[in-house]
Each structure stands twice: as structure tokens, then as C-alpha cells.
Amino acid sequence: MVLITLEGIDGSGKSTLNASLQHALLDLAPVFTREPGATWIGEQVRRAIADEVDPVTEALLFAADHAAHLDSVIRPALAAGKHVISDRYADSRYAYQWATLEGVLPDPLTWLRQVHDGWTVPPDHTLLLVLPVEVALSRKKLAGKREHFEEASLLARVQENYLRLAGEEPSRFVVVDAEMEEGELASFSERLIREWCGSSRSHRRR
Ligand code: TYD
């Protein structure tokens, strides 16, 4: 079983991609999940995002949600031999909270990694959607109300952080051009995920 994560800035098209994958990968029956999660802890996190709590509180809430997510979804699914696809995961913390904690803590990334150290489950593969920040924001504008993360300068730093993380672990990350046409992006991602899961449609048909 493999743990696959989808990452990217707001407006990168993760949700649309995720919806297509849920349909396309039905035969693999992976567990689709997300962070912030669906537990009551995830609800508190969403409330914190809306209320704009201080960045350390916010980072720890996201980390608490991750712990609950691991306990209630990720570990049981992997233990049951299922593939897991998570829309956002620890790299969201490393990319977003690295940016929001800049100037608050001396070395945010090291701190964030220490917070996760010893209990998180590292992903096997990560699909990182990358696109110009203005394009991402124009998509969000069309979609309506913005959260405080959805500002150009912050998203630019977040995307830079994502790319730094990908540069550190090139064997885990696949960086994808999120401006690719929607269907093309979905079929490219589907192929990649099938490869990662050691299964392909043609192989299964034989
Ligand atoms: P989400 O609901 O996934 O937003 P979207 O559907 O736009 O991707 O996440 C809400 C916001 O929370 C989003 O701006 C990313 C941010 N976020 C963090 O800052 N840190 C985290 O650890 C996670 C999981 C999300």
C-alpha cells in the first residue's frame, strides 16, 4: 500500500484534480482523505483559520489535526492494506506555516519538523501542483470569498517553500504544471498514481 499526497497553493486545482481521481481510480479503491480533516479537531482548525488566531496556535492546531487524521484515518487504512490519497498533508504545514512563522520563530521549518518528528507517517509520493500565483488567485476570485492565506505575497512564499521541499526530496516529489488542461492533468496524475500503486488498467485487464 502507498501513501500519496497532493499539495499546492490555494487555487492550484487540487480539489478539481482530487474529484477526477476519485472517479478515475475507483477500481483501485484507495482511501481519499484530506487535511484539515473531517474530525471535530479539523472543525476547530477551520474556525481558527477564519478567526485568524496567532500563527503558533494555528500551526499547532494544524499539527493536532494531523495527529487525529493519522490516528483515525491514515494508520487504520494503511494497516488494512489500502492505498491512501490525501489532499494536503504534512508538507502543507512545512510550506504554509514556514511562511506564516517567518519572523515569529528563528527557524520555522526546523521547528515544524521537530513538532512532527517521531509520530508522523512520511508520504511515499507527493504530487505538487505549481502555477503562477496570479493565475491561482484569479481562480480563487472566481470561486468567491478568500481566506487570509490567499494573498499574493504569502502564496508566493508558500510556493517557493514547496519548491524548496521538492528540491530536497526529488525522489518523493513530482512537480506538475497546474496550468495544464484539466483533463490532461487528471490523466497524467492518474497514470502516475497507478504506477505508484503498482497497478495499471491494462495490467488488471489481462
Ligand atoms: P483547504 O481547506 O485544503 O483549502 P483548499 O481547498 O483551498 O486547498 O485548506 C485551508 C487552508 O489551510 C489553505 O489555505 C491551506 C491552509 N493550510 C495550512 O496553512 N497548513 C496546513 O497544515 C494545512 C493542512 C492547510
- In terms of phi and psi (left: phi > 0; alpha: psi -120 to 50; beta: otherwise), the region of 8 is left
64 lines ligand 1 (CB under 6 A): no
pLDDT of residue 201: 44
Per-residue pLDDT of 90-135, as tens digits, reads: 999 999 999 999 999 999 999 999 999 999 999 999 999 999 999 9
157 lines ligand 1 (CB under 6 A): no
* CA–CA dist 118, 131 (Å, integer): 33
149 lines ligand 1 (CB under 6 A): yes
How large is the average pLDDT for residues 149-160?
Answer: 93
Q: Rounded to the nearest whole angstrom, what is the distance from the C-alpha of residue 39 to the centroid of ligand 1?
A: 15
173 lines ligand 1 (CB under 6 A): no
pLDDT of residue 145: 62
Domain count, the chain: 1
Closest listed residue to residue 45, CA positions, set 61, 21, 57, 66: 61
Is residue 142 scored above 80 in pLDDT?
A: no
- Is 205 among the domain residues? no
Q: Rounded to the nearest whole angstrom, what is the distance from the C-alpha of residue 36 to the centroid of ligand 1?
A: 7
Q: Rounded to the nearest whole angstrom, what is the distance from the C-alpha of residue 89 to the centroid of ligand 1?
A: 9
Q: What is the pTM of this model?
A: 0.93
How large is the average pLDDT for residues 58-85?
Answer: 96
Residue 149, helix vs strand vs coil: coil
**Phi/psi of residue 146, nearest 5 degrees:** -110, 145
- In terms of phi and psi (left: phi > 0; alpha: psi -120 to 50; beta: otherwise), the region of 85 is beta
User: Ligand 1, residues 17, 46, 149: which to mutate, most atoms within 8 A of Cβ?
Assistant: 149
Ligand 1 atom, smallest distance to 11 CA: 7
CATH of the domain at 157: 3.40.50.300
96 lines ligand 1 (CB under 6 A): yes
- Is 89 among the domain residues? yes
* CA–CA dist 113, 66 (Å, integer): 13
Is residue 60 scored above 50 in pLDDT?
A: yes
- Is 29 among the domain residues? yes
Residue range(s) defining the domain that contains residue 70: 3-199
- Is 206 among the domain residues? no
Is residue 188 scored above 60 in pLDDT?
A: yes
Q: Rounded to the nearest whole angstrom, what is the distance from the C-alpha of residue 116 to the centroid of ligand 1?
A: 17
- Is 112 among the domain residues? yes
Closest listed residue to residue 119, CA positions, set 52, 57, 74, 186: 74
Beta strand segments in the chain, E = 3-8, 31-34, 84-87, 125-130, 173-177
CA distances from 139 to 10, 135, 142, 175, 183 (A): 9, 6, 5, 20, 17
What are 30's three cell numbers?
484507495
Question: Is residue 55 within a helix (H) or strand (E), and if so which, with residue range?
Answer: helix 55-69
Listed range (3-17, 69-83, 139-153) with the worst mean pLDDT: 139-153
